[in-house]
Amino acid sequence: MHRGARRASLLGGKMAAPGAQPQILVQYLVLRKDLSQPPFSWPAGALVAQACHAATAALHIHRDHPHTVAYLQELGRMRKVVLEAPDETTLKELAEALQQKNIDHMLWLEQPENMATCIALRPYLKEEVNQYLKKFRLFK
């Protein structure tokens, strides 16, 4: 489907009740903020690349999940939210918590350093994952 498509992605092909808000899928990413600061001082492009790698990998790994299928049906309506983690330890702790709660995600490891840089969740409804992400603020 191309960018100009107008139909809404509805989960499971179900129609929303009259007056009800459609269920919107969001792909959340959590990117390490410390990589933009000394001693790392990575340029913005390198940080964006890490988020892109993680997002692409999460979508690919979970490509058959109904939420991912629905999310990819309308490329012009994809929603992503990029949050910041202060450091690698916090990012790895989040990955462990998500794993324990069976929240589908991808922890991107930059090679050859094997350094955790970003987590991308597969597309979820906000209310399904908000409790795990509410302590993280928008990436600035």
- E strands in 33-134: 80-85, 105-110, 115-121, 124-125
Percent above pLDDT 70 for the chain: 85
- Report whether pLDDT(6) > 60: no
- Residues 45-66: what's their mean pLDDT? 98
**What is the model's pLDDT at position 54?**
98
Reference 91, options 51, 62, 61; nearest CA is: 51
Percent above pLDDT 90 for the chain: 83
**What is the model's pLDDT at position 21?**
67
pTM: predicted TM-score of the whole model, two decimal places? 0.85
